[in-house]
Amino acid sequence: MEIIPVLDLMGGVVVGARMGQRDLYRPISTPLAPTSDPVDVMRGLLSVHPFTTLYVADLDAIEGIGNHFELVRGLSLALPDTSLWIDAGFSDVADCAFWLPLGATLVIGSEGLDSVDDWREIHAAFGEGVVLSLDYDAAARKGPEALFDDPALWPLRVIVMDLGRVGTDRGPDIDRLKPLIEMADGRALFAAGGVRNAGDLAALAALPTQGAVIASALHHEAVTQKEIAAL
């Protein structure tokens, strides 16, 4: 099982995400780093474990108020042996093309797509170089309904992103994940949102999911080097 840590970027710093309520996000305070500077936080995460993949959410780009392209370029240069997954609110092929020079894996969130045709165009253009994120909030799916119902549209890697559980102590939504894993037909599913501790990771591994995208559990030191090594 792969553990993928998250950097949520807003206004040039790493913020603590909670329940997708982005207007309430504040610079992160973590025992892993002396500041909320992305380089400091990145180093803190890598001190826990030599992660091979890092998920970067550019919240400014997602909200349409700028982007952290140069900052992420710097992270990419500093981490030549780490694969970056970038979520920057991609909505069409042109959005994706802007970020291609980084050589990163692009995460296409369903919440940013207006139609299934937008997704089809992106997938046709970039193939399995993209990851699809099926996004949920506390109440509903976010994005074109067909993306959630038709696994034939899915790429080889799919994130199930529960925004309503991000930064909470509710645990992952196992009941939501089970039918999606059955639908996935061998595709790699990654769970995101709600992971509290190593017990939750073990439950996800047993489903089985390919991995988990996490942040709070690392910063709260509820998931440590020991637990990650065991997984």
Answer for the pair 10, 221: CB distance below 8 angstroms, yes or no: no
Q: Would residue 141 be called left, alpha or beta, if left means φ above 0 and alpha means ψ between -120 and 50 degrees?
A: beta
Q: Measure the CA–CA gap between 208 and 7, rounded to whole angstroms.
A: 25
Mean pLDDT, rounded, for 42-53: 95
- Higher model confidence: residue 48 or residue 167? 48
Q: What share of the chain is helix, strand, coil (3-state, %, to 5)?
A: 40, 25, 35
* One-letter identity of residue 140: A
Q: Is the pLDDT of residue 214 over 80?
A: yes
Say which CATH topology domain 2-230 has.
TIM Barrel (3.20.20)
86 Cβ neighbours under 8 A, 6+ residues apart = 56, 58, 72, 99, 102, 104, 105, 106, 107
What are the CB-based long-range contacts (under 8 Å, 24+) for 114-122?
Answer: 114/144, 115/144, 116/144, 116/146, 116/147, 116/153, 118/91, 118/92, 119/144, 119/147, 119/153, 120/153, 121/92, 121/93, 122/90, 122/92, 122/93, 122/96
pLDDT confidence tier of residue 229, bands split at 50, 70 and 90: confident
Q: Is the pLDDT of residue 20 over 70?
A: no
**DSSP three-state, residue 107:** strand
Adjacent-strand bridge partners of 142: 135
Q: 112-161: per-residue pLDDT in tens?
A: 999 999 999 999 999 999 999 999 987 789 999 999 999 999 999 999 99
Q: Is the pLDDT of residue 83 over 80?
A: yes
